[in-house]
Amino acid sequence: MTDSLTLREISNHLDGEILSGDPDSIITGVSAIQDAGPTDICYYGSAKYACYLGSTKAMAVIVSEPVETAAECVLLVHSAYDGFRKVLHLFKPDRTSGFVNSHSSAVIHPGVEMGENTRIGPSVVIDRGCIVGDNCCIGAGVVMGPGVILGNDCHIHPNVTLLAETVVGNNVIIHSGTVIGSDGFGFVPHSRGEHMKIPQNGNVVIGDHVEIGSNCSIDRAVTGSTKIGAHTKLDNLIQVAHNVCIGRGCFIAAQTGIAGSTSVGNGVVFGGQVGVGGHIVINEGAIIAAKSGVTKDVDSGVTVSGNPARPHMETLRLGAAVSRLPKIIELVRELNTGKIGETGD
């Protein structure tokens, strides 16, 4: 949260080495290499962007190896991308709410245990029996149902809904519009269509350092808990059904849906718009390509793609085969005509 820093200050913060440029150069912002202005710092992390090195208007470029560039200053660090992350932190805009702690319009049940230094926005509702940790920031319009437990250092953005008995760990970020603890989709089907609801008696438990994007839906368990492991990151508009168990350190891209009782190991990566069926096991370190439809268990470390999802190399092989299919059909016809020619003449 700063307006300007010298190149030297940035270099010190990043434990870097100034390869060129005046250490007293004043940097006022962070930008992408192609968009940077004359007092910005940017980073160069992929050969894909080499074309901008010569034309960038940036004052400084963060690199992990020496480069030729139009920028006056070059700052060498161990990882350019992580250096970029660190300068973004230095220049992070101040987005703190202008409303002071526990705004008078917030409605907090008398029995709530409230941590220290936790900021409650306007129109927040915290129901009976909730326990809220220290140093949290709870945005305007957030609703916490009865018995929700929220750890320390959490940021719950505006208009999030945490329903009854949801348990959230420490250092968790939840973005706006997300609903945690809605009822799972469970019914006893009925022949005349008068399906009967299965009560969803369980809850949702979210580990430490989890981040959940906006407008996600994470359903409570029938019994026990729907679980999201520590350090797992969810993008936006994701569906997590009842009794799903997601491991530690997973990445799940936007609009993916995971059906009931499916188990996801540690470090699994999902592309966007993936669908996973119910009662499936996706093992540690698997990668699920975007738009895959996973209909059976996935082995550890395997990359799958397609619908139904197959090992990615197989999907590629079948895709390539299909691409050649019209020519193959032509060839088969010629062969067949030849044969007919042979046999018919």
Just list the catalytic residues: 242
**Residue 331 binds to a second copy (criterion: CB under 8 A):** yes
Per-residue binding string, a second copy, 75-114, x by CB under 8 A, is ----x-xx-xx--xx-xxxxxxxxx---x-x-x-x-x---
53 φ, ψ (degrees, to nearest 5) = -60, -40
**Residue 121 binds to a second copy (criterion: CB under 8 A):** yes
CB of residue 190 vs a second copy: minimum separation in angstroms? 8
**Residue 297 binds to a second copy (criterion: CB under 8 A):** no
Query: Binding a second copy by CB under 8 A: which of 195, 296, 299, 300?
Result: 195
Q: Which stretch binds a second copy (CB under 8 A): 10-18, 55-63, 64-72, 274-282?
A: 274-282
The two structure tokens encoding residue 344: 């018919």
158 φ, ψ (degrees, to nearest 5) = -55, 150
Alpha-carbon distance 14 to 285, whole Å?
Answer: 30
Range 122-181, binding a second copy (CB under 8 A): 122-123, 125, 127-129, 139-141, 143, 145-147, 157-159, 161, 163-165, 173, 175-179
Range 223-262, binding a second copy (CB under 8 A): 223-224, 230-231, 233, 235-237, 239, 241, 243, 248-249, 251, 253-255, 257, 259
CB of residue 214 vs a second copy: minimum separation in angstroms? 4
* 121 CB neighbour count, 10 Å cutoff: 22
Paired sense of beta strands 245-246 and 251-252, if any:
unpaired
Place of tokens 């326990």: 131
**Residue 311 binds to a second copy (criterion: CB under 8 A):** no
What is the side-by-side strand order in the sheet with 203-206? 113-114, 131-132, 149-150, 167-168, 203-206, 225-228, 245-246, 263-264, 281-282
CB of residue 296 vs a second copy: minimum separation in angstroms? 13
The two structure tokens encoding residue 236: 């936006």
CB of residue 206 vs a second copy: minimum separation in angstroms? 15
Range 39-78, binding a second copy (CB under 8 A): 48
**Residue 307 binds to a second copy (criterion: CB under 8 A):** yes
Say which residues have a Cβ less than 8 Å from residue 239's Cβ, sequence separation at least 6. Answer: 216, 217, 256, 257, 258
Query: Residue 202's Cα: distance from chain center in Å?
Result: 25
Alpha-carbon distance 9 to 223, whole Å?
Answer: 54
The two structure tokens encoding residue 163: 């329903």
**Residue 190 binds to a second copy (criterion: CB under 8 A):** yes
CB of residue 192 vs a second copy: minimum separation in angstroms? 7
Query: Binding a second copy by CB under 8 A: which of 21, 115, 293, 311?
Result: 293
CB of residue 154 vs a second copy: minimum separation in angstroms? 14
Query: Binding a second copy by CB under 8 A: which of 3, 47, 116, 192?
Result: 192
What Å distances lie between residue 88 and 76, 197, 204, CA to CA? Answer: 16, 48, 33
